[in-house]
Amino acid sequence: MSENVARRGFLVGGLGGAALLAAGCTSNEPAAAPSSQAAAPAPAASGNDQPGTKVTIGFSAPAADHGWIAAIAKNAEAAAKQYTDVDFKPVEPTNDINQQISAVESLIAQKVNALVILPNDGQQLNQVALQATQAGIPVINLDRVFPDKLAYRTWIGGDNYGMGVAAGHFIGKQLKDKGVSNPVIVEIQGIATLPLTQDRSKGFADALKTYGFSVTAKQDAKFTVETGNQVATSLLQAHKKIDAMWNHDDDQGVGVLAAIKEASRDEFIMVGGAGSLNAMKEIQSGTSVLKATVTYSPTMASSAIKLARLIAQGKGMSDLVENQVPQSITLASETITKDNVDKYLALGFES
């Protein structure tokens, strides 16, 4: 995403998968095997997908004017339809802060059993999320985080810093393997003022530093195809030779790639961000400068619905020993290349 973007780790299937990814994001070390001196914990209960108590889940997100956001809404609805015990109540998507606040208030008034909210702005919707929790409605905060931890029961989202790290390592290794020194590396951000963008850029810079590289130039493209095209055109004109490019967002990447093709430039490698189907097909072709994309998957919305259902029914995640759903789940950012793209095509979203 994207702007929420979040783009991106994948969380698919049952919540056992969520547990594994959540665990994988908390440490760089492999889990230790149970000591032979102590008894292993008893297996957690299973069967969470079996019908249980009927619950109503409210859902609010921004307007689908971006491929990643559109996929968020579709994934949430699809996940809810998997369960006969879920009554899914989405409100009209909107990019207007006041309208989203009013929509969430209407769900609170309906006394839904749980709320899944992807706020347009976490800071500005923090108060209405607090109202929900104070009314006894658990809030599952999707992607853009509310600043007050009392405003949500569980947060689930992507790893923006991790996206930058993944992109930086891919580019750093590729250039090192080619013996490139003092490379020209350009970065096309989303919206430069957003904390998520700043996290992505920091992760990218930190990873490049481990190879002795740094970003030559960067510019933000506002997460739009048109601006992506304009920014890429400007950077291509300013740098007659480029070694690598990282574009934060595959949606704006449609415009970036168009500018590259228009300029007939192919001397560099490019990495995208989010994991769109368009980007995956470019990578799969093997004929594009786009060699990889780092994920910030909208499948997080599917998992948010599943988490909301479990929380509303008073259940935990079946692959965890604990009785309650975790307070925070960060998805890993994975690197999609020509070697593994076939595994991810089904999870791509249309830009």
Q: Identify the pLDDT of residue 35.
A: 34
pLDDT at residue 11 in the model: 33
Predicted pLDDT of residue 13:
35
Give the model's confidence band at 47: pLDDT under 50 very low, under 70 low, under 90 confident, else very high: confident
Give the pLDDT mean for 156-168: 97
The stretch 332-350 carries a mean pLDDT of 96
Distance CA 153, CA 308 (A): 9
Nearest to 199 by CA among 25, 55, 333, 343: 333
Give DSSP secondary structure letters for 136-180. T--EEEESS--S-GGG-SEEEE--HHHHHHHHHHHHHHHHHHTT-
Of 282 and 29, the structure prediction assigns the larger pLDDT to: 282
First to last CA, the chain: 10
- The better pLDDT of the pair 295, 195 is held by 295
Q: Which residue has the tokens 């769109």?
A: 276
CA distance 19 to 216: 39
pLDDT class for 46, splitting at 50, 70, 90?
Answer: low
pLDDT digits (tens, 9 = 90+) for 272-320: 999 999 999 999 999 999 999 999 999 999 999 999 999 999 999 998 9
Q: What pLDDT does 65 receive? A: 81
Q: Measured between alpha carbons, how far is 85 from 39 in angstroms, rounded to an integer?
A: 37
Rounded to an integer, the average pLDDT of 100-123 is 97
Give the integer Cα–Cα distance in Å for 203 and 214: 12
Query: What is the rounded average pLDDT for all residues in the chain?
Result: 88
Contact 271, 293 (CB under 8 A): yes
Calculate the alpha carbon distances from 187 to 106, 214, 221, 269 in Å.
42, 10, 10, 12
Q: Identify the band that residue 66 occupies on the pLDDT scale cut at 50, 70 and 90.
A: confident
Q: Given a cut of 80, is residue 31 above it in pLDDT?
A: no
Nearest in space to 134 (alpha carbons), one of 150, 115, 146: 150
